[in-house]
Amino acid sequence: MAALLDHAVRTLFGHDHSVDAWRNLVHPGETVSLKVNTLGGRGISTNVQLVAAICERLQQASVKPADITIWDRDSVELERAGFHVAIGGDRVQCYGTDRVGYEQELSAYGSVGSLLSKILTQRSNVLINVPVLKDHDGAGVTIALKNMYGVINNPNKYHPNGCNPYVADLNMLPEIRSRMRLTICDATTALYEGGPAYKPEHSWSANTLIVSQDPVALDHTGWQIIERKRAEKGLKTLEAEERAPGYIATAADAEHRLGTNDPKKISLIEV
């Protein structure tokens, strides 16, 4: 897993040594948080070994262990996914927002008005998004942009209309946008149908990491991977099922400009 991560990061940033790439991304004294996705339990959550490898590289890039936080919405879900909750001391921190709560003041953009996790606002100079690659019955797919639903108090309010424009609006919140530096999508195991909960009959070992600083390009690329798998399995496209992830195009539009979904502008380097 570490070798795969190193290869991806070196290639993305054009460095011979992966630690050099990480040193360009984070700096000593910064607090770094890794927003994982643990809704799917052991079956399909962010890979623990991948997260361990990221933490190791961050420390090699001179980030103190206690300045690193692995987190999601809920501590119990983190444990169910294989993470060990750790709070305090000099070690890498790992816990859910349930342990610290949400800010009291609303953050709002467009259709979104939410309270943000204190882990984001108080423990993260730098946010590294570490989602998984999944089909989603409402949104079409859930990859990088939608993983931010785990940052707020009221994600249930933002599922109508295939989560569009809510996903894009949420990622526009300055507290999220200003901290987001990198997305490392764990597609070692992925889900092409029946998500977001784990469905073993619809998962496959994609054995892939997708790494980008453009979450829109990453989501577009991940969506296409899921569509290819669906076609291979004889399933309809998400569009044919009337659940294409329209929020990706919204995130790329002139109002949001969170990245690009234009395949001509996406440099896809497969290693």
The footprint of another protein (CB under 8 A) covers 39-40, 74, 76, 98-102, 104, 106, 108, 113, 115, 137-138, 153-154, 156-157, 159-160, 194-197, 199
Select 82 or 113, whichever has its Cβ closest to another protein.
113
**Least Å from the CB of residue 190 to another protein:** 17
Q: Which of 215, 188, 184, 222 is nearest to 55 (CA)?
A: 184
CB of 157 to another protein, least distance (A): 5
Rounded to the nearest whole angstrom, what is the least distance from the CB of residue 69 to another protein in the complex?
Answer: 16
156 vs 265: CA distance, rounded Å: 33
Closest listed residue to residue 119, CA positions, set 191, 186, 52, 176: 176
Which of 186, 192, 271, 171 is closest to 238 using CA atoms? Answer: 192
Q: What would the two tokens of residue 151 be?
A: 């940052």
Q: Cβ(111)–Cβ(166) under 8 Å?
A: yes
Return the number of the residue (163 or 211) whose C-beta is nearest another protein.
163
In the complex, minimum distance from the CB of residue 147 to another protein, in angstroms, rounded to a whole number? 15
For the packed helices 2-13 and 48-60, what is the interaxial angle rounded to 10 degrees?
Answer: 50
Indicate the residue among 15 and 199 with the shorter CB distance to another protein.
199
Measured from the CB of residue 220, what is the shortest distance to another protein in angstroms? 23
The four Cα atoms 221, 226, 230, 231 give a dihedral, to 10 degrees, of 20
In the bound state with another protein, the residue whose beta carbon lies nearer, of 29 and 160, is 160
Residue of 144, 135, 140 whose CA lies nearest to 239: 140
Indicate the residue among 28 and 160 with the shorter CB distance to another protein.
160
Minimum distance between the CB of residue 16 and another protein, rounded to whole angstroms?
Answer: 43
Residue number with CB closer to another protein (115 or 258): 115
Write down the least CB distance from residue 241 to another protein, Å.
Answer: 13
Q: Are 225 and 268 in contact (CB under 8 A)?
A: no
Q: Which of 15, 18, 24, 23 is nearest to 5 (CA)?
A: 18
Which H helix or E strand runs over 117? none
Helices (H) and strands (E) in the chain, counts: 9, 11
Tell me whether residue 19 or residue 139 sits nearer to another protein (CB atom): 139
